[in-house]
Amino acid sequence: MRIGVLKESAPRERRVALTPDAAARLIKQGSSVAVERGAGAGAHYPDAAYEAAGCTLVDSAEAESADLVVAVRRPTAERAARLREGAVLVALSAGDPGEALAALNGRRVTVLALERVPRITRAQSMDVLSSQATVAGYRAVILGAEALPRFLPMLTTAAGSITPAKALVLGAGVAGLQAIATARRLGAMVTGFDVRAAAAEQVESLGARFLAPEAVAGDAETKGGYAKELAEEQQQKVLEAVAGAIGQADLVIATAAIPNRPAPRLITTAMVESMKPGSVIVDVSAETGGNCELTRPGETVHHADVTILGPLDLPAGMPQHASQMFGRNVQTLLDHLAPKGALTVDLDDEITGAMCLAHEGTLRHRGNG
């Protein structure tokens, strides 16, 4: 099997789909890997590192002609039209407007969307959403700490004692749990909140307090373990719980998300106005509309002496380790698709079938694009 690794072209995107170590594992198993020149440069993986791993450095046309093409983000429609007819593409597809998928389907390319990896035990090591959410949760706390006008940890100095900052993390999925762990490592007093009852134990296991268990809905979790939309009465209870805690927080990390839906609004303007002067909100869900109604994706908003950050592409801002984790996810998936070096697309397989957006000229799922 010949694998092509594309160089990313999306704004702010610095990750690469396969790192040299992941590529080396695939080569050892019998595949050949053709890497577009400069593909890893944004993540600090130079071309020389790929050559040392046994990869071949190629131009864009040769990378596009591979049997199986991997990318972080689905290529543009123009580039998709150049992929080899009948090839397999593995990439993230969320947010794509749809033209690229149509172009790929027109060339009978099999499109496997990485964001559709099912949440089952045997697919955990292929789950790029979880690995990249880990990066996002970590970076959100670092960005928030930088924006705060105060320390996070307690300090005892000759100039007096500094009390620790209070952090509130909304949403206890992978990003939220990593944010809790990071804020705790930095010395903050942390409270976590999630609508899923099962999250309480996870939050407390990290040494944080769980907020308002009486507001948690026992049926607020999908079979896949994600939060789901709440009924109006339940949503009102959630807002009341958040409103009761947010005024005490110095730093709020908002990570609540619902798959394939706009981010739930958990922070109102009135809540922001109740916060302490100098407080900071980092809205990790900015790309899907934001948990705070004042969030502007990609911008920093100042309102009532509160700073609201709406960062985009958080994992791409830490591209080296984000790529390492992404590449390991992709390598494990490719091991699944070609266990003996021979590529097989089995749509009856619970992993492959769930990921497949297009196959042999037929659109199966449109995903988010």
Task: Give the residue numbers marked as catalytic.
Answer: 119, 124, 127, 130, 226
In the structure encoding, which two tokens stand for residue 73, read together? 């983000």
Q: Quick check: 280 and 296 in contact, CB under 8 A?
A: no
State how far the Cα of 83 lies from the Cα of 322, in Å rounded to an integer.
26
Q: Quick check: 152 and 167 in contact, CB under 8 A?
A: yes
Burial of 260 (0-12, 13-18, 19+ CB in 10 A): exposed
164: left (phi over 0), alpha (psi -120 to 50) or beta: beta
Q: Quick check: 218 and 188 in contact, CB under 8 A?
A: no
CA distances from 348 to 232, 337, 344 (A): 38, 12, 11
Burial of 201 (0-12, 13-18, 19+ CB in 10 A): exposed
State how far the Cα of 51 lies from the Cα of 35, in Å rounded to an integer.
9
State how far the Cα of 273 lies from the Cα of 254, in Å rounded to an integer.
17
- Interacting residues of 344 by C-beta distance below 8 A, sequence separation 6+: 337, 338
One-letter identity of residue 160: G
State how far the Cα of 42 lies from the Cα of 39, in Å rounded to an integer.
7
